Amino acid sequence: MNKKVFFAFSILPAATVCFSLLLYAKKSNFAESANNDKVIQRRYKSVNLNLISQFELAANVVNLKYCNSHLYIYDFDKQRILSINTKGEVTQAYGKRGSGSGEFIQIMGWDVNSSMVRCVDLGTLSVSCINHQNKVIEYSKFDKSFFCATPLNENLYLMRGVTYSKEKKPGASFSSIFWLLDTKLKTQTEVPILLPEETTVPELAYSGFFANSSSGDMRFFVCDRAGYFFAFDKSGKFKYLARTTDNFSLPKIIINEGGSASFDAKSPFTSYSASSTDKYLFVLSVVNEINVNPKSRGGVIDVYDVNDGRYLWSFELPKVDNAKSSAIAITENQIFAYYGEKIVVFTYSE
């Protein structure tokens, strides 16, 4: 099983959620592609990809980001963030496994900028900010559980929660699905998203992951079990919900004793990873088209407009040493892709 798949399942038994819900939203908050039932057909585009380097990495990589000429990766096994230079050398390790300040049991959200690395830990319900001298400069605790998170500004975090409204009729509020944590004011505020309208999104699975635009102006929550993504601005305000090209049936949900929920192990994933520039959102998707080089494919990247969520085109990543990519970080002209035990770097142009 892909290592990232393991990560996505790691907290499911503890989540108490309802999956038979219908989500209602204003039409103005839906991308055009999300506001209809038409199947989005992939349009493959030839892009210029050149493999320029690759290096092995002794880490279980869940996701990766690029900042200040360094690649940053989340090492799941050791619960830390690693900084890697262009030669593949580890230059800094942020955090470690533990339950104190700057220590983590299960990182479920992180980001990096020129000043610090910020991590949100599910195991301790805490936030740690670690500067590039590896000193903890902020440590905050909170008391509301969540599924995953992404830092916004210095003290604000967008959280994907696990609470829900039992009301399923039009007008019911599902706004507690996303909420904002302010570590300075010590507040936890629901993000208003869903409003009564005739457009519905059935059984939207709560599992997924965040991706941030390179400037930090946008945040995206990409569903990994359903073909949708949410878009937010840098303050955490909801902007739109868009459909993706993934046309799988929605996952089978198993409700266990006590109300906890899990996915059928055979349910397909729709996407593994995402990365965003200020122009495009890139989603590494799971596809099974027989007629598009399935044996040589190392992954398919779908490209969306960050302004309105419109699907634009797709392109393929090659296999490397017979492996497929499970995580990506993309800049204006480079693609960093994780292939099981190594990082592969491509130059990229349209």
Domains of the chain (ranges, CATH numbers)? 3-8+43-349 (2.120.10.30)
Whether pLDDT at 289 is above 60: no
Q: Please, which residues have CB within 8 angstroms of residue 105's CB and are 6 or more apart in sequence?
A: 79, 97, 98, 99, 121, 122, 123, 124
Whether the CB-CB separation of 163 and 173 falls below 8 Å is answered with no
What's the pLDDT band for 323 if we cut at 50, 70, 90?
confident
- What does the pLDDT read at residue 249? 59
Per-residue confidence (pLDDT) for residue 163, from 0 to 100 = 52
* Confidence class for position 254, pLDDT limits 50, 70, 90: low
Please say if the pLDDT value at position 171 is more than 60. no
Question: In terms of C-beta density within 10 A (0-12 exposed, 13-18 middle, 19 or more buried), how is residue 159 classed?
Answer: buried
Tokens of 16: 């108490």
Token pair 């990589």 in the structure block, residue: 61
Q: Reply yes or no on whether the pLDDT at 90 is more than 80.
A: yes
Q: How would residue 173 be classed by pLDDT, with cut points 50, 70 and 90?
A: very low
Which helix (H) or strand (E) element contains residue 7?
Answer: helix 3-9
Residue 187 has pLDDT above 90, yes or no: yes
